[in-house]
Amino acid sequence: AWLQNVTADGAQPRTPISAPVFVLGRTGSCDLVIDGEGSAFVSGRHCEITRREDQYWLIDKQSRNGTLHNSESIEEVALQSGDIIQLGKNGPRFRFLITDFSDHNAGETLQFQTGQTKAVKDRSKTAALVQVAVHKAREARDFSQSGQTHIIMADVVRALIDKHHRRHRITLLTAGFLLLSVCAFFFFTVRKLNSAKDRIDAQLTQLEIQLAKADDPDEMEKLIQQINDYQRRAMQIQRNLLYELGKRDQEADTIESEIKSLLKEFGANEYSIPPEFHQQVRYYISRYKGPDREHMENALTDAQPFLMEMKAIFKEQNLPPDLAYMALVESGLKHQARSEAGAVGLWQFLPATARAYGLKVNKQQDDRLDPKLATYAASRYIRDLILEFGTGSSIMLALAAYNLGPTRVRGEIRKVSDPIKQRNFWYLYRIRALPEETREYVPKIIAVILIGRAPDRFGFQPSSPAPSAPGASP
């Protein structure tokens, strides 16, 4: 089976589906890595093509913009040859093909015929040897020396081989020399790029340590500027084709790389993430594996059917489905949860915010206790926060605003004189413009999402309970 890229006119390259589970997405671990034009609509691990017995299946991996099959949004669907797969409504398009040997080797046949044409041109150079061999064989046959035919033909074959080797020896030596030269250039260039990037990474680590200890605003501003400069240089190296071909992704299975991949999906594509942020994510992963394990296990087992429904609601609102895990951080997925401040329900709405997003809150009725209604309201609220506090496609500051409240976030960012930096989450995080609770809230959400995406890796064994009815309480 093959995938043919039909996104644009002109060349439509084919990619063989070479694995039983073939993953498409932006991360380097995918079987087909999507980059370039249209990649902004593609999630880290967007979808997969799985073969079960004699049938191929297309499965969406809870992507941010969805997977389309023949223009219809799907979760899982059987594939037929000729079907069109699209990653997001405006993303790249592929044609799924199941072809026989003659179809997918058409290009190779054409190349072989081209080689044959050259051989025909060279025929005059070897014709004399062949004619001599045939003439001698006929003479031997006329004299009933049939055994001599094999000897004569063997002699001419050896002569042809010697002639062929002499003619191509210089060509082979030249090609070998050029190949060695290219390999040497590639090796030394990649080593030089790796060394430069290692030096930049070391400088960034030192600057982040200095920034964490700094108190003076002017000094902090200077350090952040240096961090930004080094990040630009590092990203230039990463975009170098030779670096990309020669890099060894030693962090492929580390939490740090997974954090970066997830943040990239959320529009927070930062080369250097503050060490404190990494530490906070690791801390909350350990919390959910230890003291708070009950909440995580509930999300992966008993509450899983409703969690899937919540993800569907977020996807319906064109939001990342994994943001449904915010309810676990807010309330432990307890729809009756109440706080001392008066927040109620899965999404811990205060009365004023709940009413602003269409929920009834009075003595007779409190829609905050209805999981489905509250989730729809939360998705609309988060959408508005992204529209106000997002930078490009980044949602990090919007997550902080959900915890802190938009009014307080507006007050904090107004303290930053540069209007561009006011919407830069990482700048606000580094200068500690956000309260401690909010600085911990965002890493906690990232930790929960990472566990939810790969529970078995973190020591959880999710079960498959019977699906709950829509709107059922978790």
78 within domain boundaries: yes
Q: Are residues 349 and 432 in the same domain?
A: yes
Whose tokens are 């063989």? That residue is: 16
Please determine, for residue 453, whether its predicted confidence score (pLDDT) is greater than 60: yes
Same domain, 89 and 214: no
Least confident of 123-137, 236-250, 256-270, 418-432: 123-137
| Spatial contact of 49 and 17, defined as CB atoms under 8 Å apart | yes
> Residue 141 domain-assigned?
no
Instruction: Return all residues near 208 (Cβ < 8 A) that are at least 6 apart.
Output: 227, 272, 274, 275
Mean pLDDT in residue range 79-100: 90
Looking at the structure, tell me whether residues 370 and 453 fall in a common domain: yes
Tell me which residue range forms the domain holding 83.
2-103
Q: To which residue do tokens 């039909």 refer?
A: 6
One domain for residues 414 and 342: yes
pLDDT: which is higher, 159 or 42: 42
Question: Residue 65 and residue 50: Cα distance in Å, rounded?
Answer: 20
Same domain, 336 and 408: yes
In a shared domain, residues 416 and 452: yes
Question: Of 221, 253, 285, which marks where a domain is finished?
Answer: 253
Number of domains within the chain: 3
- % of residues, the chain, pLDDT over 90: 32
List the single range of 163-172, 290-299, 338-347 with lowest mean pLDDT: 163-172
Which domain CATH number covers 366?
A: 1.10.530.10
Return the closest-CA partner of residue 23 out of 31, 14, 34, 35: 31
Task: Identify which has the larger pLDDT, 17 or 266.
Answer: 17
The answer to whether position 474 is within a domain reads no
Question: Would residue 405 count as lying in a domain?
Answer: yes
pLDDT-derived band at 312 (thresholds 50, 70, 90) equals very high
Q: How confident is the model at residue 472 (pLDDT cuts 50, 70, 90)?
A: very low
Same domain membership, residue 454 and residue 349: yes
Of 311, 378, 369, 358, the C-alpha closest to 335 is 369
Residues 279 and 211 in one domain: no
Position 81 scores a pLDDT of: 93
Confidence band, pLDDT 50/70/90 cuts, at residue 74? very high
Domain boundary among 103, 133, 160: 103
**159: confidence class by pLDDT, cuts 50, 70, 90:** low
| Structure tokens belonging to residue 367 | 């829609």
466 in a structural domain: no
- Average pLDDT of the residues of the chain: 79
Contacts 24+ apart (CB under 8 A), 199-202: 200/230, 200/233, 200/234, 200/237, 201/234
Residues 267, 376, single domain; the answer is yes
218 with 355, same domain? no
What is the value of pTM for the model shown?
0.52
Higher pLDDT, 156 or 15: 15
CA distance 305 to 432: 38
Determine contact, residues 322/453, Cβ cutoff 8 Å: yes
353: tokens are 């915010």
Mean pLDDT of 210-217: 80
Q: Could you tell me the pLDDT band of residue 75, with boundaries at 50, 70 and 90? A: very high
What's the CATH code of the domain at 21? 2.60.200.20
Residue 180 lies in a domain: no
Hey, how many other C-beta atoms are within 10 angstroms of the C-beta on 114? 9
Predicted local distance difference test score (pLDDT) of residue 106: 39
- Distance of alpha carbon 128 from alpha carbon 210, whole angstroms: 81
* Domain annotation covers residue 409: yes
Q: Give tens-digit pLDDT for 23-71.
A: 999 988 898 999 877 888 899 999 999 999 889 999 999 998 999 999 9
Shared domain for 242 and 310, answered yes or no, is no
Among residues of the chain, what percentage have pLDDT more than 70? Answer: 75
What is residue 392's predicted lDDT score, i.e. its pLDDT?
52
What digits encode the pLDDT tens for the residues 347-389?
A: 999 999 999 999 999 999 999 999 999 999 999 999 999 988 8
Residues 297 and 397 in one domain: yes
CA distance 377 to 371: 10
In a domain, 121, yes or no: no
pLDDT number for residue 113: 30
Residue 143 has pLDDT above 90, yes or no: no
Has residue 116 got a pLDDT over 90?
no
Tokens 């994510």 belong to residue? 281
Residue of 247 and 76 predicted with greater confidence = 76
- Helix, strand or coil for residue 121? helix
Domain boundary, last residue among 66, 86, 103: 103
* Spatial contact of 266 and 394, defined as CB atoms under 8 Å apart: yes
CA 117 vs CA 120, 124, 131, 380: distances in Å: 5, 13, 21, 66
Alpha-carbon dihedral 445, 448, 449, 455, rounded to 10 degrees:
170
The vertex-276 CA angle with 270 and 282, nearest 5°, equals 95
What would the pLDDT profile of 383-417 be if each residue is shown by its tens digit?
999 988 876 546 888 998 999 899 998 888 888 87
What pLDDT was estimated at residue 218?
82
Quote the distance between the C-alpha of residue 90 and its chain's center: 17
